[in-house]
Structure formats: C-alpha cells, structure tokens
Amino acid sequence: MNHTIRVTKMLAAAIVIALTGAVEASAQMSLTGAWTFTVDLDGSITYPAVTLVQDGETLTGHYSSEGLGENDITGTVSEMKITIMFSADPGLGQVIDVVYTGTIDAEGMITGTLDLGGLAQGTFTAVKTEA
C-alpha cells in the first residue's frame, strides 16, 4: 500500500513539474515579430501579413491583406490561446469586425478559426517569419 501511495505522489509531482515547465515556456515565447497567415475561406486561400507586438498578455500590431486592406489590430494571449481583432471595410459598404482565435503549438505555429463579422468563417495557420 505504501508503495502505491509513493508512486502516486511521485507521478503527481512529475505532472506538476511538467505543467510548470510548459507554462514557463509559453510565457517565454514572444509573439512579437512579423507573421505570415494562411487563411482558408471556403477554399479561397489568402496570405495576410501580420506584425505583432506583445506586452505581457496584450497584443497590438498591423494586418495587411489584399481583401481587407491595412488595419491596426488588438488582441490578447493567455497561456497558449490567442485572439486578435480589428474592424475592416471589405468593399461591401459596411465595416465588419474581424476576429481570429487560435492556439499556439509547441513549435510556435498558430492554428485556429476566423470570423468575418458573421458574414463568413474560415480557418488559418500562422508562422513567424522574423522576430
């Protein structure tokens, strides 16, 4: 019985150490820099350029694409989750809210979904091209 309790305590300690390391690694991973997004909207692929500046959990930056133009962005990052947003005029005569929501993997790639003001939804991946 004592052996089982000791093994359980050792396993719990190992899990805590591993989780602490993962949290520390995500806290050390800076999102500041230039990013290339690959966006898929119903089979139509675009490649917006995004520049992010990270200050703690706050993100600011710039978004540039042919379809949505030049836009300043805001966002947040917490643990391995990221949200960025901006308002854009896609040429429809109305401004829409664009929201990207994603997850950062261990290699620093971001994958997730985007919503174009409720008019369309899609998926994206993003890779950092320079710091």
How many other CB atoms are found less than 10 A from the CB of residue 35?
20
Task: For residue 55, give both structure tokens.
Answer: 């200050």
pLDDT digits (tens, 9 = 90+) for 63-91: 999 989 999 999 999 999 999 999 998 88
Q: What is the pLDDT of residue 57?
A: 96
pTM for the complete prediction?
0.77
pLDDT digits (tens, 9 = 90+) for 12-58: 554 544 444 444 444 467 999 999 999 999 999 999 999 999 999 99
Residue 60, sorted as left (phi over 0), alpha (psi -120 to 50) or beta, turns out to be: beta
CA 131/CA 123 separation, integer angstroms? 24
Nearest one of 91, 94, 99 to 116, comparing CA atoms: 99
Q: Which CATH superfamily is domain 31-130 in?
A: Quinohemoprotein amine dehydrogenase alpha subunit, domain 2 (2.40.128.120)
Report the relative pairing of strands 58-65 and 49-55 from DSSP bridges: antiparallel
Q: Find the DSSP H helices in the chain.
A: 2-28
> Any idea where the domains of the chain sit in the sequence?
1-29, 31-130
Nearest one of 112, 64, 57 to 86, comparing CA atoms: 64
Nearest 5°: CA angle at 65, between 58 and 63? 15
Task: For residue 45, give both structure tokens.
Answer: 């692929």
